[in-house]
Amino acid sequence: MKAPRPAAPAAVRVRNVRAGDLEDVAAIDLEITRLPKPGYWAEIYRRYGSGRRQQRFFLVAEAAGRIEGFVIGEVRDWEFGSPRCGWVFAINVRPKARLAGIGSRLLEAVCDGFRRLGVTKVRTMLARDNQLILSFFRSQGLMAAPFIPLEIDLDPAGTERA
Amino acid sequence: MKLQKNTLFALYSVLESASRPERQLSAGEIARKYGISPHHLAKVLHTLAQAGVVESVRGVGGGYRFAGNAKRLTLIDVIALFENINAPARGTRPRPRRHSAGPGVERAIGTVLSEIDAMAEATLRSISIATLLKLAVRQRRQT
């Protein structure tokens, strides 16, 4: 049996998320990350998808009545010392719907939202071993930003640091 | 980061052939465009052909044609044909000593240099030939 072909980009509609989409969004995330996140998506919807959403975007790609992908981003001012810019902090497409331009459509849509707010720079941050998404953003023209993410493992509370 | 000459010539060849996959390019054409030795380039093209990145077309008007998938082939795939990407560059790693006075220092320096290697590798692994061609077009427009 042949796998169904991914929807053509023209058949895909990108729109604001609705409460009824959350189950699909969480299912896409679970399929990709294999990590259930109870409560997380409801909280993200509360912060990015409902009410007055100044500078915040939570968009979904819908094809034939089914949610095939989503993108979440927001405009942040002076974060990390940087002038106002758009941050994309989540983008995912259902694995079987990939290679049909849905990711590109979602990224374009969130960038259009940023543009409407006067933003001219878009950033994201990725795990460096996440080759799939890293390659996707590269193919969309994103280049290395003038920032270096740093981290440290914290000793448990109550232990003295060497 | 500095690539060896052969690696750079390979990247030129792959980009040239992938930008016009329907055309056969001779080693001479590529060599003239980049001002490099056709003899040297022929060896590089031979390696690329053996790896299936380009295919050699015989006969009159023959040459080399891109045979890979430009959206899937990454810079690291090409570089790895010519360089050991996991080997530290000469002089960039402290040499291990049997009785080292400062193993902590050597390890600390090694950790920092490994960070750099990991970043470079992630970058090269994330950029496909198709992406690099798009970048080249954008940069041509800017000049």
Q: What is the domain-level CATH number for residue A71?
A: 3.40.630.30
Residue A162 pLDDT > 70, yes or no?
no
- Is B126 within 8 Å of A141 (Cβ atoms)? no
Report the gap between the CA of B112 and the closest CA in chain A (Å).
Answer: 12
The domain total for chain A is 1
Domain assignment present for residue A144? The answer is no
* CATH architecture of the region B5-142: Orthogonal Bundle (1.10)
User: What pLDDT, in 10s, does the model give residues A76-130?
Assistant: 999 888 999 999 999 999 999 998 899 999 999 999 999 999 999 999 999 999 9
Domain assignment present for residue A94? The answer is yes
* Tokens coding B28: 């001479």
- Say what the pTM is: 0.84
Write out residues in chain B with pLDDT < 70, as ranges.
87-101
| Strands of A85-93's sheet in order across | A13-16, A56-63, A66-76, A85-93, A122-124
- A138, A140, A142: best mutation site toward chain B, by most B Cβ within 10 Å? A138
Residue A41 pLDDT > 50, yes or no?
yes
Domain assignment present for residue A31? The answer is yes
Give the mean pLDDT of A65-77: 95
Give the domain extent around A24.
9-139
- CB contacts of B111 in chain A (<8 Å) are none
Report the gap between the CA of A135 and the closest CA in chain B (Å).
Answer: 4
pLDDT value, residue A161: 58
pLDDT value, residue B102: 72
- B115, B126, B138: best mutation site toward chain A, by most A Cβ within 10 Å? B126
Number of A–B residue contacts, CB under 8 Å: 28
Q: Which residue of A has its CA nearest to B135?
A: A141
ipTM of the complex model? 0.78
- Is B54 within 8 Å of B14 (Cβ atoms)? yes
